[in-house]
């Protein structure tokens, strides 16, 4: 494998290309009109335009991507995350064209991509799942299934993802309407109206395990990531290890994650997601790709997950055994997005008039932006992933706070103040996390306002100090000049 086409954009495209460079592999970028000149297109060894800005005509255009891969002689495609990363059809076309898809087989993608089928499969494997339906739910069987589970329940699209179409139902009266609307959303978004139900757990934690599996049957887990700080089922802050796990539980859950991967003959990097509630854990879904938050695992384990993923696709055995995996210290990731946290997190794309990312010991910033870069309105408004490492959780939090205060982004609104508020939140600091954290921490909005006010007054005080300093400097300069003139006059008078 000498040349990899990266069918993605932004920070993850650069992340993959970095791994390629270390491995001596040529990297190829494909980009839409909206990404002309973007950093990832310049980082790549080669770059080709795929089409107009809308993803359907560019990053989701399978035919065009395959054509470019063939034309430029790429022998593999890395799909990153999102876009085509979990699309079995894309993987299948790659397989047919003898282009290595860097991920699991199309068969595994198909199986795990249907969340209900994956749930059934995991039950067969002996992996604990949340109580719920074993098949599709519709008006004819909903009442019977739910009477066994008891309210509240959550309706989920089988072909779903991104939290889309998931609906919590609290009572009988809401059921029919919720079912109809979930099915409609599922059909429109995923082209599959099938939905299933699960018992809705009260404020669980989201804990997932990173796994690596090669084609020789070796499977290891790289420990867990806690991703409970979410908004609308979307992760905003992740950390590893989880403050909730003992080493016994980590071992137990890790073994189950490995068992789940083995059961489906998984090959590549992947994630087994669990909900964790009252000391028990339940399989949620498998993410059959590299995840946004993979970097925190890299920071604590020292293992380059993308490089391992590429090596697996090359047919190499894993470079590590389970006993080699050692988690050192603590890492936290804040997703820095161009969005306004004081206005319902509305996206705020636009031009970065000034951009300076934090640095120093224990800080990693994965990003695809720079000063004068314009964040296009067409895609996810992520600016960067800010990762802080510390020897323990407290050091990681303090370092994250310091890095957030160093971050300078001018030109678009960002969620940095939200992250600052969370890093100062006593419940967060105590590690008392849950997926309802944001909705139950009602002081966060006031905290963000307080932090903004505090920073403004600090800025004002600083600018006053500078004005004073400037005035004082001017006075001193005038005094020095006057003194010089006086001395000159005296000298001239003497001569
Ligand atoms: P998606 O694939 O759309 O991202 P997931 O099934 O992975 O959806 O769930 C995303 C999030 O939704 C979870 O992290 C959790 O916060 C919430 N969630 C999902 N299932 C349940 C459940 N049964 N009970 C409580 N919360 C749930």
How confident is the model at residue 458, as a pLDDT?
76
Does any ligand 1 atom lie closer than 6 A to the CB of residue 355? Answer: no
Q: How far is the CA of 385 from the centre of ligand 1 (A)?
A: 22
Nearest to 210 by CA among 196, 199, 224, 231: 224
Rounded distance, CA 213 to CA 197, Å?
A: 30
Angle between helices 416-424 and 444-494 (to 10 degrees): 110
Q: How far is the CA of 160 from the centre of ligand 1 (A)?
A: 11
Q: How far is the CA of 163 from the centre of ligand 1 (A)?
A: 7
Does any ligand 1 atom lie closer than 6 A to the CB of residue 230? Answer: yes
Q: How far is the CA of 122 from the centre of ligand 1 (A)?
A: 16
The separation between the first and the last C-alpha atoms of the chain, rounded to the nearest angstrom, is 87
**Residue identifier of the C-alpha nearest atom 10 of ligand 1:** 233
Nearest to 70 by CA among 91, 98, 89, 95: 98
Sign of the dihedral through C-alpha 7, 226, 432, 115 = positive
Burial of 418 per CB tally in 10 Å (0-12, 13-18, 19+): buried
Strand partners, 224: 209
Which range has the worst mean pLDDT, 135-144, 400-409, 425-434? 135-144
Does any ligand 1 atom lie closer than 6 A to the CB of residue 414? Answer: no
Strand partners, 225: 208
Does any ligand 1 atom lie closer than 6 A to the CB of residue 154? Answer: yes
Sign of the dihedral through C-alpha 422, 330, 271, 253 = negative
Nearest ligand 1 atom to alpha carbon 206: 14
Phi first, then psi, for residue 440 (nearest 5°) are -95, -20
**Residue identifier of the C-alpha nearest atom 11 of ligand 1:** 233
Phi first, then psi, for residue 189 (nearest 5°) are -85, -45
Q: β-pairing, 382-390 with 330-337? A: antiparallel
Residue 342 pLDDT greater than 80, yes or no = yes
| Chain centre distance of CA 351 | 22
Q: Which residue has the tokens 């086409």?
A: 5
3-state secondary structure 363-390: EEEEECCCCCCEECCCCCCEEEEEEEEE
> Containing H/E element for 402?
helix 393-406
Q: pLDDT (tens digit, 9 = 90+) per residue, 163-221?
A: 999 999 999 999 999 999 999 999 999 999 999 999 999 999 999 999 999 999 999 99
Residue intervals in the chain for CATH 3.30.1490.20 = 131-199
% of the chain exceeding 70 in pLDDT: 94
Strand partners, 354: 410
Rounded distance, CA 257 to CA 126, Å?
A: 11
How confident is the model at residue 482, as a pLDDT?
63
- What order of strands is seen across the sheet that includes strand 3-6? 46-51, 26-32, 3-6, 76-78, 100-101
% of the chain exceeding 90 in pLDDT: 88
- Looking at every residue in the chain, the average pLDDT score rounds to 94
Nearest to 290 by CA among 13, 88, 2, 5: 13
Cis ω before 311 (30° cut-off from 0): no
Residue 486 pLDDT greater than 70, yes or no = no
Query: Residue 280, Cβ neighbours under 10 Å: how many?
Result: 13
Give the pLDDT band (50/70/90) at residue 35: very high
Rounded distance, CA 98 to CA 96, Å?
A: 6
Count of residues making up the chain: 495
User: Do 191 and 201 meet the contact criterion of CB atoms below 8 Å apart?
Assistant: no
Rounded distance, CA 436 to CA 114, Å?
A: 26
How confident is the model at residue 495, as a pLDDT?
63
The residue-averaged pLDDT of 416-439 equals: 98
User: Do 412 and 305 meet the contact criterion of CB atoms below 8 Å apart?
Assistant: no
Does any ligand 1 atom lie closer than 6 A to the CB of residue 202? Answer: no
CATH topology for 205-451 is: D-amino Acid Aminotransferase; Chain A, domain 1 (3.30.470)
Give the pLDDT band (50/70/90) at residue 16: very high
Rounded distance, CA 35 to CA 27, Å?
A: 17
User: Do 262 and 215 meet the contact criterion of CB atoms below 8 Å apart?
Assistant: no
Q: Which residue has the tokens 């800010």?
A: 386
Q: pLDDT (tens digit, 9 = 90+) per residue, 302-332?
A: 999 999 999 999 999 999 999 999 999 999 9
Nearest to 235 by CA among 158, 337, 328, 129: 337
Q: How far is the CA of 345 from the centre of ligand 1 (A)?
A: 20
Cis ω before 389 (30° cut-off from 0): no
Q: How far is the CA of 150 from the centre of ligand 1 (A)?
A: 18
Does any ligand 1 atom lie closer than 6 A to the CB of residue 196? Answer: no
Residue 476 pLDDT greater than 90, yes or no = no
Q: β-pairing, 205-213 with 153-157? A: unpaired
pTM of the model: 0.92
Does any ligand 1 atom lie closer than 6 A to the CB of residue 235? Answer: no
Rounded distance, CA 291 to CA 305, Å?
A: 10
- Phi-psi sector, 138: left (phi>0), alpha (psi -120 to 50), beta: beta
Residue 461 pLDDT greater than 90, yes or no = no
Rounded distance, CA 405 to CA 420, Å?
A: 8
Does any ligand 1 atom lie closer than 6 A to the CB of residue 201? Answer: yes
The residue-averaged pLDDT of 78-105 equals: 98
Residue intervals in the chain for CATH 3.40.50.20 = 3-102
CATH topology for 131-199 is: Dna Ligase; domain 1 (3.30.1490)
Nearest ligand 1 atom to alpha carbon 163: 3
Q: β-pairing, 76-78 with 100-101? A: parallel
Q: Which residue has the tokens 């008039």?
A: 353
Pick the CATH number of 3-102 from 3.40.50.620, 3.40.50.2000, 3.40.640.10, 3.40.50.20: 3.40.50.20
The residue-averaged pLDDT of 235-251 equals: 98
Nearest ligand 1 atom to alpha carbon 230: 16
**Residue identifier of the C-alpha nearest atom 8 of ligand 1:** 163
Distances (CA, A) of 327 to 115, 223, 311: 30, 7, 22
Q: β-pairing, 3-6 with 26-32? A: parallel
Q: Which residues are catalytic?
A: 289
């Amino acid at each position: 494998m000498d040349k990899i086409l990266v069918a993605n954009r932004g920070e993850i495209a650069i992340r993959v290309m970095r791994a390629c460079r270390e491995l001596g592999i040529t990297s190829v970028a494909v980009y839409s009109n909206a990404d002309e000149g973007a950093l990832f297109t310049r980082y790549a060894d080669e770059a080709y335009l795929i089409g107009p800005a809308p993803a359907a005509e560019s990053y989701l255009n399978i035919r065009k991507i395959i054509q470019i891969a063939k034309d430029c002689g790429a022998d593999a495609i890395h799909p990153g995350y999102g876009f085509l990363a979990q699309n079995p059809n894309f993987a299948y076309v790659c397989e047919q064209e003898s282009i290595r898809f860097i991920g699991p087989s199309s068969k595994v993608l198909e199986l795990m991509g249907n969340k209900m089928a994956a749930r059934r499969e995991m039950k067969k494997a002996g992996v604990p799942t949340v109580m719920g339906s074993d098949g599709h739910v519709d008006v004819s069987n909903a009442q019977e299934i739910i009477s066994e589970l008891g309210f509240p329940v959550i309706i989920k699209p089988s072909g779903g993802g991104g939290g889309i179409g998931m609906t919590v139902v609290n009572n009988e009266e809401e059921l029919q309407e919720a079912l109809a609307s979930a099915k409609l959303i599922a059909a429109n978004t995923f082209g599959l109206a099938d939905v299933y139900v699960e018992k809705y757990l009260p404020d669980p934690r989201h804990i997932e395990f990173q796994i690596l599996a090669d084609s020789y049957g070796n499977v290891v887990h790289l420990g867990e990531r806690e991703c409970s700080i979410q908004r609308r089922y979307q992760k905003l802050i992740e950390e590893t290890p989880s403050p909730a796990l003992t080493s016994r539980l980590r071992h137990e859950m890790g073994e189950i994650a490995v068992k789940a991967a083995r059961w489906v003959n998984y090959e590549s990097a992947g994630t087994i997601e669990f909900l964790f509630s009252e000391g028990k854990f339940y399989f949620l879904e498998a993410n059959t790709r590299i995840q946004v938050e993979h970097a925190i695992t890299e920071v604590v384990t020292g293992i380059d997950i993308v490089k391992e993923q590429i090596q697996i696709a090359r047919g190499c055995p894993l470079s590590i055994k389970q006993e080699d995996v050692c988690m050192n210290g603590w890492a936290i990731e804040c997703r820095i997005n161009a969005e306004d946290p004081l206005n319902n997190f509305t996206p705020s794309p636009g031009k970065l008039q000034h951009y300076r990312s934090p640095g120093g010991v224990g800080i990693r910033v994965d990003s695809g932006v720079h000063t004068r870069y314009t964040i296009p309105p067409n895609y996810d408004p992520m600016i960067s992933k800010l990762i802080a490492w510390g020897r323990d959780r407290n050091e990681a939090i303090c370092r994250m706070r310091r890095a957030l205060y160093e971050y300078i982004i001018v030109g678009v609104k960002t969620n940095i103040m939200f992250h600052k508020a969370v890093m100062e939140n006593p419940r967060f600091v105590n590690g008392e996390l849950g997926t309802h954290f944001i909705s139950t921490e009602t002081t966060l909005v006031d905290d963000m306002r307080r932090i903004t006010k505090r920073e403004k007054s600090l800025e004002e005080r600083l600018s006053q100090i500078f004005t004073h300093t400037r005035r004082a400097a001017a006075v001193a300069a005038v005094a020095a000049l006057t003194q010089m003139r006086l001395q000159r006059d005296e000298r001239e008078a003497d001569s």
